[in-house]
């Protein structure tokens, strides 16, 4: 396998040959999230997906992480379209931030995907230029001839896209699996992929999320009987938490609830919005009289109620997390309630999810999750299905996408097993440039591609230095020392004052530090040092050494020296 990673620094790429196709991932390689790929041919750019990554615990205060648009900022006029393969947040969540840079970029996707992005953009007060496409359709987008294929995933209307240019044929699968008994009857178009293989696929970009997992995916319809058993045993309220876009999972919950004569209420803004869109498009069938509002559900006997909620990933502000903390304004979890987490664990969210589970159990709820019952099946193809795809398409070059490094490498090994030469399996990370020239894909350089943090309404102003400071404050606290000096007489006119947060509540904890600070300040003043910055630095050195020696801690130290 050809690999580009941190151990191999790369220079900026050379100019793209006139007959070559350039591929640059701005997200989605080496991570699960913020998927975005740029294709360039003849000076025009085609974007596929524009998603977000959700922050981990070591990124305090961060709401979302975006792809780095710096590569595009000077070339926005060259962008001919943005194709969205499906409506998950890790593929569409960053679209509002891209359209702030250029609002008229055509957004191309399936009917459900476009409906979801239009609803999202209304909240951002952006009116997009949208184009709905269906499987089997060809769409000329600038110099790119695009053909769309149905794929089965954990959201309706997902698409793969074949991109044709004179440089070659590229297939981008998007996220997919090969459920042979999908609830909506919409199979992954393996026959269409095989037709492309017969034509000659020059480069395959394929979902790697489950490349380490052997075998084949469990059919979604097998979840229904498991849910039925849980509902049958439940004597009180049932709370089901799943992704707000998983229409098929929601459909099964609605069907089982109707069988057990329970009413259902949606909880969480994204759940209400997405299921409203799905219902309007005929993708979700709601039995008459089944749905009730939250106020009505709260007043009903618990044994007659099912709540369908967001928050399966332990998101702090989600409905389920607020229920677990006892801070939800309408719902209180009581002993005997059954809570079903009908989703997978997204890597990095494990601690947050288990905190929610423990909090719910402490309240007396029975919690059912994927670790104890088959209440979830993945939306991504495991190794057996990836082998089927590779054998059907017979690509000349393979670029595994959508996965952490272990997933990408496992997918690369599968490609080699099916006969793809090792030097034509490309393992890359975000920002690495892959050029397809004369049928050969190779790494030619790298562009700047960092993490762009969203903190409230602020985009990009928070960097790694700020996050380091936040981590120190969160883990070690801070120590502020204020001193007043008189430069002309070189004297301390007010003794040092120490205040702390998140460090120690013990009275007199810093009594031994104050004489050391005064002694060092007196020495500096005697030596003729009167610059307040240099005096503050001296205080920081003394205080830092004392705290490290005494407490084995490294808080943030904020010395302030004032002149009178």
Q: Which CATH number fits the domain that encloses residue 481?
A: 3.10.20.580
Mark whether 416 and 287 lie in a shared domain. no
Tens digit of pLDDT for each residue in 320-359? Answer: 888 888 888 888 899 999 999 888 766 666 777 888 889 9
At residue 316, does pLDDT exceed 90? no
Average pLDDT over residues 16-28: 95
Return the CATH number at 424.
3.60.15.10
At residue 477, does pLDDT exceed 60? yes
Higher-confidence residue of 519 and 365: namely: 365
Residue 518 maps to a domain: yes
Q: Which of 456, 476, 495 is the last residue of a domain?
A: 456
- Tokens representing residue 352 in the block: 């947050």
Mark whether 130 and 251 lie in a shared domain. no
Pairwise CA distance, residues 52 & 47, whole Å? 15
Pairwise CA distance, residues 30 & 104, whole Å? 31
Average pLDDT over residues 494-522: 75
Mark whether 174 and 41 lie in a shared domain. yes
What's the mean per-residue pLDDT of the chain?
88
Give strand pairing partners of 149. Answer: 160
Mark whether 241 and 348 lie in a shared domain. yes
Residue 452 maps to a domain: yes
Mark whether 451 and 469 lie in a shared domain. no
Q: Which of 411, 429, 456 is the last residue of a domain?
A: 456
Q: Which of 368, 393, 409 is the last residue of a domain?
A: 368
Residue 80 maps to a domain: yes
At residue 124, does pLDDT exceed 80? yes
Residue 373 maps to a domain: no
Q: DSSP assignment, residue 326?
A: T
Q: Which residues constitute the domain of residue 184?
A: 2-215+378-456
Backbone angle region of 180, left / alpha / beta, with phi > 0 → left and psi within -120 to 50 → alpha:
alpha
pLDDT of amino acid 546: 79
Mark whether 152 and 288 lie in a shared domain. no
Phi, psi of 560 (to 5 degrees): -130, 120
Residues contacting residue 275 through CB under 8 Å, at least 6 positions apart: 244, 247, 250, 266, 284, 308
Whether the CA torsion 243, 244, 246, 248 is positive or negative: it is positive
Mark whether 318 and 402 lie in a shared domain. no
62-66, 106-110, 239-243, 407-411: least confidently modelled range? 62-66
Mark whether 427 and 318 lie in a shared domain. no
Q: Which residue's entry shows tokens 């909506």?
A: 184
Residue 307 maps to a domain: yes
Tens digit of pLDDT for each residue in 396-440? Answer: 999 999 999 999 999 999 999 999 999 999 999 999 999 999 999
Mark whether 199 and 263 lie in a shared domain. no
Residue 175 maps to a domain: yes
Mark whether 277 and 181 lie in a shared domain. no
- Tokens representing residue 441 in the block: 């894909």
Return the CATH number at 228.
3.40.50.10710
How would you class 437 by CB atoms within 10 Å of its CB: exposed for 0-12, middle for 13-18, buried for 19 or more? middle
Domains in the chain, number: 3
Q: Are 118 and 108 in contact (CB under 8 A)?
A: no
For residue 40, the SS3 value is strand
At residue 489, does pLDDT exceed 80? no
Mark whether 358 and 499 lie in a shared domain. no
pLDDT of amino acid 187: 96
């Amino acid at each position: 396998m050809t690999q580009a990673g941190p151990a191999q620094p790369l220079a900026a790429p050379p100019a793209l040959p006139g007959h070559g196709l350039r591929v640059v991932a701005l997200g989605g390689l080496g991570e699960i999230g913020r998927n975005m790929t740029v294709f360039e041919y003849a000076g025009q750019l085609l974007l596929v997906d524009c998603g977000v990554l959700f922050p981990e615990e070591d990124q305090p205060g961060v709401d979302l992480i975006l792809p780095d648009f710096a590569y595009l900022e000077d070339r926005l006029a060259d962008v001919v379209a943005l194709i969205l393969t499906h409506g998950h947040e890790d593929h569409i969540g960053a679209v509002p931030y891209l359209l702030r840079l250029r609002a008229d970029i055509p957004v191309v996707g399936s009917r459900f995907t476009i409906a979801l992005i239009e609803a999202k953009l209304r909240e951002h007060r952006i009116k997009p230029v949208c184009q709905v496409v269906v499987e089997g359709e060809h769409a000329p987008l600038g110099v790119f001839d695009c053909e769309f294929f149905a794929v089965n995933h954990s959201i309706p209307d997902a698409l793969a896209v074949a991109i044709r240019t004179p440089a070659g044929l590229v297939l981008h699968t998007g996220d997919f699996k090969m459920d042979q008994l999908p609830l909506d009857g919409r199979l992954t178009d393996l026959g269409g992929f095989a037709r492309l293989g017969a034509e000659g696929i020059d480069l395959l970009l394929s979902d790697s999320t489950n490349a380490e997992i052997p075998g084949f995916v469990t059919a979604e319809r097998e979840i229904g009987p498991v849910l039925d058993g849980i509902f049958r045993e439940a004597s009180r309220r049932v709370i089901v938490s799943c992704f707000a876009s998983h229409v098929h999972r929601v459909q099964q919950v609605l069907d089982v609830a109707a069988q057990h004569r329970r009413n259902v209420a949606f909880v969480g803004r994204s759940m209400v919005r997405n299921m409203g869109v799905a219902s309007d498009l005929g993708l979700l069938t709601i039995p008459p009289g089944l749905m009730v509002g939250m106020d009505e559900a709260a007043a009903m006997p618990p044994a007659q109620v099912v709540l369908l909620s967001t928050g399966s990933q332990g998101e702090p502000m989600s409905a389920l997390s607020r229920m677990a903390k006892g801070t939800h304004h309408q719902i209180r979890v009581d002993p005997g309630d059954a809570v079903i987490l009908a989703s997978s664990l997204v890597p990095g969210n494990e601690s947050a999810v288990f905190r929610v589970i423990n909090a719910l159990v402490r309240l007396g709820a029975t919690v059912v999750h994927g670790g104890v019952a088959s209440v979830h099946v993945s939306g991504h193809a495991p190794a057996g299905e990836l082998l089927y795809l590779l054998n059907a398409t017979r690509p000349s070059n393979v670029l595994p996408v959508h996965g952490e490094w272990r997933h990408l490498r496992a997918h690369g090994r599968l490609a080699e097993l099916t006969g793809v030469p090792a030097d034509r399996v490309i393992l890359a990370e975000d920002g690495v440039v892959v050029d397809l020239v004369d049928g050969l894909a190779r790494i030619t350089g790298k562009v700047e591609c960092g993490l762009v943090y969203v903190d409230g309404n602020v985009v990009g102003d928070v960097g790694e230095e700020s996050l380091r400071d936040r981590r120190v404050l969160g883990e070690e606290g801070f120590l502020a020392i204020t001193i007043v000096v008189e430069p002309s007489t070189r004297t301390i006119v007010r003794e040092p004052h120490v205040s702390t947060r998140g460090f120690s509540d013990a009275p007199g904890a810093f009594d031994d530090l104050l004489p050391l600070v005064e002694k060092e300040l007196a020495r500096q003043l005697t030596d003729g040092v009167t610059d307040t910055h240099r005096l503050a630095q001296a205080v920081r050195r003394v205080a830092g050494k004392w705290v490290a020696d005494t407490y084995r801690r490294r808080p943030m130290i904020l010395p302030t020296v004032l002149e009178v």
